[in-house]
Every structure is written in C-alpha cells, then in structure tokens.
C-alpha cells in the first residue's frame, strides 16, 4: 500500500525553528542489552544524518550543562511537516522512553518590524552625505541583515543560551499600548547595545506568537559564558528589558560534534 506523504506546510518566508530538550532515563537505558544499545546509537546517528542531509535544514546538537536537560536539538527547516516528523524520530531514536522531553519551543525566523527604513536613513544624513555610494551601502547592509534574520547560517560556537521572552501588558507597563514610533525608537536603542557584542555574541531572535506560550525565542551563541552573562546583564538595564520584558527559563548548553556528544552522554 502506497502512503501519500502530506503536503508541505511552508511559511511565506523564513524557516520554522524547533528547540527540543530531553533528559535521558538511565533506568531504562541501563537495562538495554549491548546489542540494543548499539542499535539505539546507530539509529540516532542515522536520523541525525538524514535530517542534516535535508535541503535548507540545520540541526544543532547540544549538551545540557545543568540537570534541566541532558541533551538538546535545535532544528531549522522550512517544512513544518518535516519538523514534526524529525522531532518524533529524534525522540524515539534511542529506544522507547529513553529520551524524556522536558522542554520544547516552536518559533519562526522573522524580520524585525523596527528596522531602520531607507527614508529614516536618508533623513539622518547631511545633504552632502547623500551619495549613491552611501545609499547603496545601506541597501546592501539591510539586505544582508534581512537574509541573516530569515535564513540564518548558525555558527558552531560552543556556548549556546536559549530562553523565551514576551513583552509586558501590565497597567502602566503595556508595551503594546505605546505608539509604534516610541516602540521603534526604544528597540533601536536596544539593538545598539546588542551591536556592541558583534563578533562575540550572535543573537537569533525568532517569533513564536501564536505558535507557543510566549512571543519570542532568543538563542545566543558565544565562545565563552562570560559573553553570554555580560550581554544579558547589560541589556537588562536597557528600558526595553527593564520595563517591558518578561523572561522564561534559561538553558545553557554546549554545542558538540556527534561523536563527542555521545561520549559526553555515556551512550
């Protein structure tokens, strides 16, 4: 009997992003025979290789530093059907009930509505600065910025931090009651702080409104935990965070090659 695969579920632009975090149930894994353990490892490797061979798809392998999670996966792919299938295959790859889900987050890459427009850029220039070269340079930067947001190529930097966040709607601190111009000015100031960490911290902010419990997922990549700690601390003094941000649980993970991850997990 031929099974007709479901039609792809694709965004208008961008990618689906799925964070999956698990604990390993050692009480189950311990009672597997050596043959069953080998089969489980082989199946996990096979699933990971198949996912990574899929066009326009990235799969990051993460070791959880704290007991909140032993292992994590970050999947970026266009098709939600594929993301759903991949997540279920990863969950069962080592064998029944070995990987216990402890946290997940679904989001999508997206443009920022607060990006500086060309009109705003031109208004910021003196008449003598409005050259074709300056304008072309601005357009090229904005084009690259948009593509990096929608279709990121994530680095293999070792330290990864993930946390969900939303904007407050409290009386007197309702982000969505502010005029758009005010929100845009605040966010551009917030972004200036982030740009001071260019080359040290890569930030991927993905939208989860209507997809998960909060409004955004924030994934930070760095070479050291000091940079993660520093950027999160400094940004909390910015008005956008100090008055309007609500944060979820933080996860600190280490990005590892597959063989190193299996050794780290004692699988």
Using alpha carbons only, give the angle 112, 115, 119 rounded to the nearest 5 degrees. 145
Does 206 reside within a domain?
no
Of 22, 31, 151, 163, the catalytic one is 163
Per-residue model confidence (pLDDT) at position 121:
81
Q: How many CB atoms lie within 10 A of CB 248?
A: 18
Q: How far apart are CA 136 and CA 63, in angstroms?
A: 43
The residue out of 121, 150, 179 marking a domain boundary is: 150
Q: How far apart are CA 261 and CA 23, in angstroms?
A: 14
3-state secondary structure of 68: coil
Does 31 reside within a domain?
yes
Q: Are 146 and 109 in contact (CB under 8 A)?
A: no
Query: Going by C-beta distance under 8 Å and a sequence separation of 6 or more, which residues neighbour residue 197?
Result: 203, 227, 230, 231
Per-residue model confidence (pLDDT) at position 136:
85
Clarify whether residues 81 and 129 are in a common domain: no
The residue out of 109, 142, 175 marking a domain boundary is: 109
Does 96 reside within a domain?
yes
Clarify whether residues 22 and 103 are in a common domain: yes
Range of the domain at 74: 16-109
> Which helix (DSSP H) or strand (DSSP E) does residue 162 occupy?
strand 159-167
Dihedral sign for Cα 171, 173, 176, 178, please. Answer: positive
- Phi-psi label, residue 4: left if phi above 0, alpha if psi -120 to 50, beta otherwise: beta
> Phi then psi for 255, rounded to 5 degrees?
-85, 125
Does 212 reside within a domain?
no
Q: Are 30 and 87 in contact (CB under 8 A)?
A: no
Does 76 reside within a domain?
yes
Specify the length of the chain in residues.
267
The residue out of 124, 150, 176 marking a domain boundary is: 150
Clarify whether residues 96 and 26 are in a common domain: yes
Q: First-to-last CA distance in the chain?
A: 37
Per-residue model confidence (pLDDT) at position 160:
98
Q: What is the CATH number of the domain that holds 50?
A: 3.30.70.1030
Burial class (CB in 10 A: 0-12, 13-18, 19+), 117: exposed
Q: How far apart are CA 181 and CA 21, in angstroms?
A: 38
Tokens (6 digits) for 179 = 């005029």
Number of domains in the chain: 2
Q: What is the mean pLDDT of each run of 10 residues along the chain (267 residues)?
A: 87 98 96 95 97 98 98 98 98 96 98 84 82 86 89 97 95 92 89 90 96 97 98 92 94 97 95
Per-residue model confidence (pLDDT) at position 33:
94
Does 199 reside within a domain?
no
Clarify whether residues 48 and 95 are in a common domain: yes
- Closest Cα to residue 35, out of 27, 46, 43? 43
Question: Is 251 annotated in the active site?
Answer: no
Does 248 reside within a domain?
no
Per-residue model confidence (pLDDT) at position 59:
98
Q: Are 19 and 162 in contact (CB under 8 A)?
A: yes
Q: How far apart are CA 48 and CA 259, in angstroms?
A: 12
Clarify whether residues 52 and 129 are in a common domain: no
Cα dihedral 127, 132, 133, 137 in deg (nearest 10): 100
Lookup result for tokens 């996860």: 251
The reported pTM is 0.93
Clarify whether residues 62 and 89 are in a common domain: yes
Does 81 reside within a domain?
yes
């Amino acid at each position: 009997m031929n099974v007709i695969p479901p039609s792809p579920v694709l965004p208008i632009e961008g990618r689906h992003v799925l964070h999956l975090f698990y604990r390993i149930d050692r009480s189950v894994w311990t009672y597997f025979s050596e043959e069953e353990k080998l089969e489980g490892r082989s199946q996990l490797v096979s699933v990971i290789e198949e996912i990574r061979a899929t066009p326009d798809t990235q799969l990051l392998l993460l070791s959880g530093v704290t007991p909140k999670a032993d292992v994590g996966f970050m999947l970026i792919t266009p098709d939600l059907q594929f993301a759903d299938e991949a997540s279920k295959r990863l969950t069962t790859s080592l064998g029944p009930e070995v990987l216990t889900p402890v946290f997940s987050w679904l989001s999508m890459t997206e443009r920022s509505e607060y990006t500086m427009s060309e009109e705003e850029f031109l208004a910021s220039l003196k008449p003598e600065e409005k050259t074709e070269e300056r304008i072309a340079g601005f357009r090229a930067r904005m084009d690259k910025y948009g593509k990096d947001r929608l279709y990121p190529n994530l680095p293999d930097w070792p330290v990864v931090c993930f946390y969900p966040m939303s904007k407050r709607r409290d009386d007197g601190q309702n982000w969505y009651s502010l005029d758009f111009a005010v929100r845009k000015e605040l966010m551009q100031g917030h972004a200036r702080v982030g740009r001071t960490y260019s080359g040290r911290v890569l930030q991927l902010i993905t939208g989860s409104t209507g997809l998960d419990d909060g409004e955004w997922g924030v994934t930070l990549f760095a070479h050291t935990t000091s940079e993660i700690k520093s950027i999160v601390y400094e940004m909390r003094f910015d008005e956008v965070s100090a008055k309007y941000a609500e944060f979820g649980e933080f996860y600190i993970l280490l990005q590892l090659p597959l063989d190193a991850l299996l050794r780290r997990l004692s699988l």
